[in-house]
A and B are shown apart, each in its own frame.
Chain A
Amino acid sequence: QKEVEQNSGPLSVPEGAIASLNCTYSDRGSQSFFWYRQYSGKSPELIMFIYSNGDKEDGRFTAQLNKASQYVSLLIRDSQPSDSATYLCAVRLSREFGVAGNKLTFGGGTRVLVKP
């Protein structure tokens, strides 16, 4: 079992709809969670981070964290063609606590296609 798992997609979403992306993690003690967006051929760009259970909203993006069920999700409201990208989930696993370097473990990414 991978430590951080994402459905590879593609997730096809009509323009204006909500895109819902999920990420599950195996380490129950993990506490820091990040979503990155990566356009084809480009480097990842941080779009959201969340540390506490519940929802965190930033513009059209909402991150949702459920530590009991060990998943973190990303909602993209009013999806636009410019949102078409691969979304990477990253987690700081509990085994990294107290270890120098703030290492993150990445999922394989979910490819999102927003169709006009």
Chain B
Amino acid sequence: DGGITQSPKYLFRKEGQNVTLSCEQNLNHDAMYWYRQDPGQGLRLIYYSQIVNDFQKGDIAEGYSVSREKKESFPLTVTSAQKNPTAFYLCASGWTSGSYNEQFFGPGTRLTVL
């Protein structure tokens, strides 16, 4: 099956802990993105990457880190420096060439800080 997978679906973290959210895609997309969604809110971009070993900060990168060692994988680490990490985290991917800019989303990870 082609698609975007995220794990885990639910994650609970104690304050002061770092946690890593997984995102994998087998759609051969060049670009991958991480968004955060708070209740009743739209999506805010955390980080994005268009090629392996390169990534850029989005609008709310503070307290987060990413890596892009493989085209298929774009894990997000939520560090203890992120002051309010409880949110719904969404990974997306898409092409960077051609006329189309669509992004396709994984199922999401819901993070709760206890």
Pick from A100, A104, A107: contact of B96, CB below 8 A. Answer: A100
Q: How many B residues, CB 8 Å from partner?
A: 28
Q: How many A residues, CB 8 Å from partner?
A: 24
Interface residues in B26-51 by Cβ distance below 8 A to A read: 31, 33, 35, 40-45, 48-50
Query: Does the CB pair A43–B101 fall under 8 Å?
Result: no
A106 at the interface (CB under 8 A from B): yes
Binary B-proximity of A92-116 (CB < 8 A = 1, otherwise 0): 1000000011111011110000000
List, in ascending order, chain A residues with CB within 8 A of B44's CB. Answer: 106
B17 at the interface (CB under 8 A from A): no
A16 at the interface (CB under 8 A from B): no
B66 at the interface (CB under 8 A from A): no
Provide the bound-state CA to CA distance between A106 and B71, in Å: 25
A36 shortest CB reach to chain B, Å: 8
Query: Does the CB pair B96–A102 fall under 8 Å?
Result: yes
Query: Does the CB pair B105–A43 fall under 8 Å?
Result: yes
Query: Does the CB pair A43–B31 fall under 8 Å?
Result: no
Query: Closest 6 A-B residue pairs measured CB to CB?
Result: A108-B42, A43-B105, A106-B42, A106-B43, A102-B101, A43-B108
